[in-house]
Amino acid sequence: MRYYSSTAVEMALTGSVNEIVTTLVVDTVLGLPTQAPFTLAVDIGLSTEEIVTVTSVSGMNLTVTRGVDGTAAVAHTIGAVTRHMVTARDLREPQEHLAATANVHGIGATASVVGTDTAQALTNKTVNFANNTILGVPQASVTNLVDDLAALVQADIDASAAIEALPPFAEYVTMATCAADGSFSGTFPAGLFTVIPVLQCTVQSNTQFVFASAAATSETAFSGFCAYFSGTPKVFRLTAGFIISIHAVQMTATTASN
């Protein structure tokens, strides 16, 4: 910005100057603005009229920028009339400011004023949703949200496809008899199970001291052992003759989650 005064008196150069020097010496500084920069006009109304910007004042010495506001730096003679006054730029700049959308009010050369109803793309802004309400935002206008939702939808599709790819529920019940060493084994119908099933064993006996354990060794076969708690002292001994009920189940995703 520039500074102004309504009490500056007319001045005169105390020496001639060429078009190069950047210091003008005047006969008075009475009433000039107390801060720089401000404007002076030299040789007012003559063909040698020149507008300068005063950047500093030291006594009667004025440091200036020559030939501003559309004028040219030219030589001036001693006694050239000099005044502090309003020039075209003082009227032009406010009009430019009214029309400008960027580099105004100190917001920076690349920043723009935000309008209430103009179409603008905003960047580097933080919106506090605790103090602001966003209304009428189409989902398609929120690019990242659309991308995130698309990713979530695709994840659901992938998860559903994975669940559908799991084998269907299947079960089979069979019997096996323990051999002399307590072992037993058997088979499942071919093609019933597409993965190794989970087994549950039940000993067909009234005694509470007989136990059996089995596992499927493939989609079509299983094996296990039966033990009886007996003897002195009592220990688990492999035993024969007991009939084992084998319940085999191939779980689906829904059955497994329940």
17 within a domain of the structure (yes/no): yes
Reported as a single tens digit per residue, the pLDDT across 1-31 is 899 999 999 999 999 999 999 999 999 999 9
Helix, strand or coil, per DSSP, at residue 152? helix
240 within a domain of the structure (yes/no): yes
Would you report the helix, strand and coil content of the chain in percent, each value rounded to 5?
Answer: 15, 30, 50
Question: Higher-confidence residue: 135 or 74?
Answer: 74
pLDDT at 138: 77
Rounded Cα–Cα distance for residues 198 and 249 (Å): 5
Q: Which of 31, 58, 86 is the last residue of a domain?
A: 86
Look at residue 214 and tell me if it is in a domain: yes
Q: Is 171 helix (H, G, I), strand (E, B) or coil?
A: strand
Three-class SS of residue 201? strand
Distance CA 181, CA 193 (A): 29
Task: Decide if 230 is inside a domain.
Answer: yes
* Residues paired with residue 214 on neighbouring β-strands, in sequence order: 224
Decide if 151 is inside a domain: no
- Between 5 and 174, whose confidence is greater? 5
CATH code, domain with 174: 2.60.40.2080
How many structural domains compose the chain?
2
Order of strands, sheet of 198-203, starting from the edge strand that comes earlier in the sequence: 170-177, 243-250, 198-203
Cβ atoms of 88 and 69 within 8 Å: the answer is yes
Last residue of a domain, one of 86, 119, 136: 86
Q: Rounded to an integer, what distance in angstroms lies between the CA atom of residue 210 and that of residue 87?
A: 113
* pLDDT tens profile 50-81: 999 999 999 999 999 999 999 999 999 999 99
Please report, rounded to a whole number, the percentage of residues in the chain having pLDDT higher than 90. 38
Alpha carbon distance 215, 180 (integer Å)? 19
Encode pLDDT of 176-196 as tens digits.
888 888 888 999 898 888 888
Q: Is 114 within a domain?
A: no
Residue 225 CB contacts under 8 Å (≥ 6 apart), including other chains: 178, 182, 183, 184, 212, 213, 214, 238
The answer to whether the beta carbons of residues 66 and 54 sit under 8 Å apart is: no
Last residue of a domain, which of 86, 111, 130? 86
186 within domain boundaries: yes
Instruction: Write out the residue range of the structural domain in which residue 66 sits.
Output: 11-86
Structural domain includes residue 149: no
